[in-house]
């Protein structure tokens, strides 16, 4: 019997798949159903739209009974359908990630949703909802063993390959999460969503929010005391930090970054547990970010862009590379970079500036925007508006000067490094054997100043949110760099 015989199928979906599919559909229909109940008039006939739930469930039942996968010598084969059959062949050598996601119910049932991503971009090549944890471990072990070891077809009854030794790389403690919570982005997003929902249902009018604020500020003297204002600001700051801390603990509780041979493995999450696998050789771009607060506290964040995968999911935070190292100490950074690329050091480079007059050109766009704002302020508020506009102008000049000072590039022997930012700094690096294209852009203003913009294209550059795009380079230097980088990429074997 050959390995490709259907009798040797590698697995099928877990029996609890149907239950989780139904829960997923009910959750998707819950909010529309509540809106219909609250706002619909008359006999609420719209609720009959719920019958659409029935064919959806029937399709899930059909998919459950027809989806199978098996392990071939060099590939994973996933078969689905009966009349219209779909067979997907996913070579082990092309697999980038085998990611796991577990909600609280998944963990209780010891099952998970699994995404298999290959180097090619777009959505996941396969999503298995849901399979058992033992099936996931076998799937992952066989795929990555097939990438690194001699290709041998599994035989009937053969146990899964022995897992590689796990080396711990990074662990986040509760104190690290409290520092991570100092970034209020998630909390402000939650507040904005809550504010918008309250506005839509006229909650502020119902509780007379505006009148209450006016009454609170109206003290006997006619103005609120400085103590009251300060207490209000402190209370708001504490609420924002508390929400941010809750979000950080939910997303990064028990964060573990491990290395198993050539593969990094990330585990994180309190209620929803996520596991991502990132092959080291698939890392195309590496970015180190340091906000102003990070630099004060001696911390940094590391992101990686990998070949393939779903950029949209990366932006949502579902991609492991977006959370490769959400926060770490500067003393840990060198060791982590060396694990990604032996000998990799980003900060100790021979930094080179942009072209002449680059600082002045950086000022043009923000100054034009500020001019319109300042004119509107003066027209509406007179001298007060002029004072506010003057402050905005000083801030613009300061931020642009900082951006010009930080913007630097370097050309080490192994690749290219680009640093940019103002108060927050980002340093990104790519490697000669990861370059796909090197391009030059010239606008009319570039040609007037003999400048050009150098763009480096890699398979995963968009995922770190810091593009390797260097503006305002002298045209001759940009052309020289393009020739040099293109030649270096051609002289090396491109590795996914």
Domain ranges in the chain are 6-157, 178-252, 256-353+407-491, 358-405
For 352, which DSSP code? B
Q: What is the pLDDT of residue 177?
A: 93
Residue 397 reports pLDDT greater than 70: yes
Q: Does position 479 have pLDDT exceeding 90, yes or no?
A: yes
**Alpha-carbon radius of gyration of the chain:** 28
339-393 tens-digit pLDDT: 999 889 898 899 999 998 999 999 999 999 989 999 998 998 888 888 999 999 9
Q: Out of 69-73, 265-269, 472-476, which region has the weakest mean confidence (pLDDT)?
A: 69-73
Q: Vertex 39, ends 38 and 40: CA angle to 5°?
A: 105
Give the confidence band of 3 by pLDDT, cuts at 50, 70, 90: very low
The CA distance from 161 to 139, in Å, is: 10
Question: Binning pLDDT at 50, 70 and 90, where does residue 35 land?
Answer: low
Q: Where are the alpha helices (DSSP H) in 149-286?
A: 174-180, 185-200, 203-206, 209-217, 226-252
Lowest-confidence pick of 22-26, 133-137, 187-191, 445-449: 187-191
- The CA-atom distances, in angstroms, between 123 and each of 29, 116, 208, 278, 387 are 24, 10, 47, 16, 51
Q: What pLDDT score was predicted for residue 212?
A: 65
**Spatial contact of 274 and 104, defined as CB atoms under 8 Å apart:** no
pLDDT digits (tens, 9 = 90+) for 233-283: 788 888 888 888 898 999 999 999 999 888 899 999 999 999 988 888 888
pLDDT for position 88: 87
CATH number of 6-157: 2.30.29
- Record the pTM: 0.80
d(CA 37, CA 359): 58
């Amino acid at each position: 019997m050959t390995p490709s015989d259907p009798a040797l199928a590698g697995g099928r979906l877990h029996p609890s798949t149907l239950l989780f599919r139904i829960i997923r559909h009910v959750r998707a229909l819950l909010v529309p159903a509540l809106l219909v109940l609250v706002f619909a008039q008359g006999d609420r006939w719209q609720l009959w739209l719920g019958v659409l739930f029935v064919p959806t469930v029937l399709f899930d039942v059909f998919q459950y009974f027809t989806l199978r996968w098996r392990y071939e010598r060099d590939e994973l084969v996933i078969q689905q359908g009966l009349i219209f059959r779909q067979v997907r062949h996913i070579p082990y050598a092309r697999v980038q990630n085998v990611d796991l996601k577990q909600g609280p119910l998944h963990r209780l049932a010891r099952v998970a949703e699994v995404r298999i991503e290959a180097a090619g971009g777009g959505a996941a090549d396969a999503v298995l909802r849901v399979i058992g944890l033992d099936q996931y471990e076998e799937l992952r072990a066989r795929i990555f063993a097939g990438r690194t070891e001699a290709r041998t077809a599994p035989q009937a009854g053969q146990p899964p390959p022995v897992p590689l030794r796990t080396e711990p790389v990074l662990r986040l403690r509760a104190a690290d999460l409290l520092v991570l919570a100092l970034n209020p982005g998630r909390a402000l997003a939650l507040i904005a969503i809550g504010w918008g929902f309250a506005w839509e249902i006229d909650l502020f009018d119902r509780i007379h929010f505006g009148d209450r604020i006016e009454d609170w500020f109206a003290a006997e003297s006619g103005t609120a005391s400085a103590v009251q204002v300060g207490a209000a600001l402190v209370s708001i700051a504490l609420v924002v930090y508390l929400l941010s801390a809750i979000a950080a603990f939910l997303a990064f509780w028990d964060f573990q970054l491990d290395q198993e041979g050539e593969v990094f493995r990330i585990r994180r999450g309190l209620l929803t547990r996520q596991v991502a696998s990132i092959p080291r050789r698939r890392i195309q771009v590496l970015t180190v970010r340091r906000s102003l607060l990070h630099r004060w506290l001696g911390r940094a964040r590391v992101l990686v862009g990998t070949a393939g995968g779903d950029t949209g999911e990366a932006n949502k935070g579902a991609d492991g590379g977006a959370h490769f190292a959400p926060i770490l100490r500067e003393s840990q950074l060198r060791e982590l970079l060396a694990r990604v690329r032996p000998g990799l050091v980003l900060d100790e480079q021979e930094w080179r500036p942009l072209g002449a007059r680059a600082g002045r050109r950086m000022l043009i766009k923000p100054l034009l925007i500020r001019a319109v704002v300042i004119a509107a302020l003066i027209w509406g508020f007179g001298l007060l508006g002029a004072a506010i506009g003057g402050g905005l102008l000083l801030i613009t000049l300061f931020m642009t000067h900082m951006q010009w000072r930080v913007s630097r590039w370097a050309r080490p022997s192994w690749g290219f490094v680009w640093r940019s930012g103002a108060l927050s700094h980002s340093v990104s690096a790519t490697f000669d054997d990861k370059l796909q294209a090197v391009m030059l852009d010239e606008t009319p203003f570039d040609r007037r100043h003999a400048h050009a913009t150098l763009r480096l294209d890699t398979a995963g550059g968009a995922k770190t949110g810091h593009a390797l795009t260097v503006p305002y380079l002298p045209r001759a230097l940009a052309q020289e760099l393009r020739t040099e980088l293109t030649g270096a990429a051609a002289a090396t074997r491109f590795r996914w």
